[in-house]
Structure 1
Amino acid sequence: MTPDAPWLIAGLGNPGPWFRLTRHNAGFLAVGRLAERHGARFRRRGIGSVVAEIEVDGKRVLLAKPQWFINLSGRPVAGLMRRYGIPVEQLVVVQDDLDFAFGSCKLKRGGGPGGHNGVRSVGDVLGTRDFVRLRFGIGRPPKGQSVGDFVLKKFSDDELAALPAVLDRCADATETLVQRGLNRAQDALNVASRPNGR
């Protein structure tokens, strides 16, 4: 960790209003919820990103939405890290994830991209995958629907109704990560995912 450097929470997604509530934009939605919680606004900054700045437990945190398409997310993320001197240990990439049911949120450091081209782009440009990923579960497509079509479809009505609570869980986990570290944040997410929080 570099105490004087800010954290960077980079949500992955596609720019433009058409994509706003699509499953592939779960990362944008999660960092947007964090910004709302702290009364912060996104402004264009750096290489191809809009950025909001918040403070969590006295620590400076940058929230970013790269404005290149999701498969090219690596260069905007790397540009922000260079500009602000952010080490990879203080980078969190928020992504949609087909491997978990909708409503699940998981934190993990490192590992392969699991077919997510945005995560692959970040790892390829940085030359390392040793960053934390907040994986926002979107579930698998129904039989007969391609993955590509599924991730670019908007959330269903039932999912939209549940979305605020899921985004709050992601925001809670991210704040705990910055405050208390990865293990504590993972524990908190596991408790929050159990029925009645037990």
Structure 2
Amino acid sequence: MSIFDVFAKLEAEKAQKAAPAAGPVEWLVVGLGNPGDKYAMTRHNAGFRALDAYCAKTGQKIDRLKFKALTGEGTFGGARVLFMKPQTFMNLSGEAVREAAAFYKIPPARIVVLFDDISLDVGRLRVRPKGSAGGQNGVKSIIAQLGTDQFPRVKIGVGAKPHPDYDLADWVLSRLTPDEEKQFAPALARAAEAAEDIVRNGAAHAAQYFNGKSE
């Protein structure tokens, strides 16, 4: 073998290690939010922002329009996943999830959903293996479209309304204060880590490690 052959072999091995393992999609990882710059930094876009934080850290791309969502395939928690940011607006998010789940034959137990939760303080996380929508319209749509609430989720705390009479829609579509953003940014990274732990080890394990924790 010549020196050129040796270098060629080394380059091929390096490229193979760098490339993510190909294969069929095994999980869906769905971040919820509303499309458009108007909503980008709002409380309701916590799910989008968690996936954006993961992409900024890893170089993962979620930029292909498919199933009424921006999507991207990657290796996550040791499995092949389809990342999704539904582009249907929040209350129709389930349409995108249902289409992708049907295409890849993904059962609800392997659909991880990341979204905002007003019952949690800003920066707090809560992992659940299943459950009701709790008033979150995107989750409500997913439950309706899948016909079940038996899918794991990562709730990202965005804080409660400042007073009972405050309009809920106005609150979730508001931006966090600068002080809240300081707590929120690290929570987005942890939310992606929690989703990855669900894929790798299950929701019970992720809940034990991530629930209630903040920086």
Structures share fold, TM-score greater than 0.5: yes
TM-score, with length taken from structure 1: 0.90
1:27 is the counterpart of 2:85: no
Q: CA deviation at 1:45?
A: 3.3
| Counterparts of 1:40 and 1:70, CA distance in 2 | 23
Letter in 1 for 2:154: L
Q: Are the aligned partners of 1:48 and 1:66 in contact in 2 as well (CA < 8 Å)?
A: yes
Q: CA deviation at 1:164?
A: 2.1
TM-score, with length taken from structure 2: 0.83
- Within-5 A mapping of 1:116-195: 116-143=136-163, 144-190=165-211, 193=213
Q: CA deviation at 1:5?
A: 4.2
Q: 1:149 aligns to what SS in structure 2?
A: helix
> Match of 2:16?
none
Q: Deviations over 1:48-69 (max 9, x none)?
A: 1001222124311221100001
> Match of 1:36?
56
Letter in 2 for 1:52: G
Of residues 99, 102, 109, the one that matches 2:129 is: 109
Aligned residues: 192
Q: 2:41 aligns to what SS in structure 1?
A: coil
Q: CA deviation at 1:30?
A: 1.0
1:64 is the counterpart of 2:66: no
| Counterparts of 1:57 and 1:66, CA distance in 2 | 22
Q: Are the aligned partners of 1:176 and 1:185 in contact in 2 as well (CA < 8 Å)?
A: yes
| Counterparts of 2:30 and 2:53, CA distance in 1 | 13
> RMSD across aligned C-alpha pairs, in angstroms?
1.8
More displaced stretch, 81-90 vs 50-59 = 50-59
Letter in 2 for 1:79: E
Identity among equivalent positions (%) equals 36
In structure 2, the CA distance between the partners of 1:45 and 1:84, relative to structure 1 (3 Å rule), is farther
| Counterparts of 1:7 and 1:162, CA distance in 2 | 29
Letter in 1 for 2:196: E
Structure 2: state its 5+ residue gaps: 1-22
Q: CA deviation at 1:127?
A: 0.6
> Match of 1:53?
73
Larger Rg: 1 or 2?
2
> Match of 1:8?
28
Q: CA deviation at 1:133?
A: 1.4
Letter in 2 for 1:19: Y
